[in-house]
Amino acid sequence: MRLNLNVNGRAMTADDVWEGESLLYVLRERLGLPGSKNACEQGECGSCTVYLDRVPVCACLVAAGQAQDREVGTVEGLADEEELAPVQRAFVDEGAVQCGFCTPGLLVAADDLINRVPEPSDAEIREALAGNLCRCTGYEKIMAAVRTAAERNAGTGISGSTGGDRE
């Protein structure tokens, strides 16, 4: 089947998509966007985390056809032309990247957190990253990077809303 979707702000088309394949496969193998990583294909590791209509999800668990006409945001879309996004800058500055396999998914999950919660507590950071596994860093530097990114983001005054009980 043919698939039309918006990725990182650009309209894209993939052809000959098999109906049973995942959005992750489409991104990596058909659209030339290998940033999102494939490790477990069962939602356990988070290395494939992308935004789907602005909500972080595991791309390996989204059926390709479910992304038709939807907006997808991947790690490739976090930075603008010139500058790294605050989370990317902070991961570099704090040395939160070792082999780097987990990094793209963590960046998307962390980007979502700091844009939703202006001053996340450590507990909130841990909770937000609970779906992302890292085999290298021991997580301490990742925690430090997210704290730093959140502080810098708050400094810019462009953080998002916190949600809360909307009942």
Partner 1 sequence: MDFLRPACWSEALEAKANHPDATPVAGGTDVMVELNFDHRRPETLLDLTRIEQLREWSRTERAGVASVRIGAGVPYSRLIDELGTSLPGLAMAARTVGSPQIRNRGTLGGNLASASPAGDGHPPLLASNAEIELESVRGSRTIPIEEFFTGVKRSAMASDELVAAVHVPVSTGPQQFSKIGTRNAMVIAVCTFAVALWPERSGVGTGLGSAAPTPRSAPEAEEFLAAALTEADQWDDPRPLPDSITERFGELVAQAAAPIDDVRGTAGYRTHALHVLARRTLSWAWDEYRGGTEFSGRQRCA
Ligand X SMILES: Cc1cc2nc3c(=O)[nH]c(=O)nc-3n(C[C@H](O)[C@H](O)[C@H](O)COP(=O)(O)OP(=O)(O)OC[C@H]3O[C@@H](n4cnc5c(N)ncnc54)[C@H](O)[C@@H]3O)c2cc1C
Comparing CB distances to ligand FES, the nearer of 41 and 154 is 41
CA distances 87 to 79, 109, 165, Å, are 9, 10, 27
Binder of ligand FES out of 18, 44, 54, 63 (CB under 6 A): 44
The Cα–Cα gap between 16 and 68 comes to: 14
Q: Please check whether residue 62 is in contact with residue 73, taking contact to mean a CB–CB distance below 8 angstroms.
A: no
Binding string, 43-82, against ligand X, x = CB under 6 A? xx--------------------------------------
Binding string, 42-61, against partner 1, x = CB under 8 A? xxx-x--x-----xxxx-xx
The Cα–Cα gap between 153 and 102 comes to: 22
39 interface partner picked from ligand FES, partner 1, ligand X, none, CB below 5 to 8 A per type: ligand FES
Q: What are the residues binding ligand FES (CB under 6 A)?
A: 38-41, 43-48, 58, 60, 97-102, 134-137
Q: What are the residues binding partner 1 (CB under 8 A)?
A: 1, 18-20, 22, 41-44, 46, 49, 55-58, 60-63, 65-66, 68, 109, 127-128, 130-132, 163-167
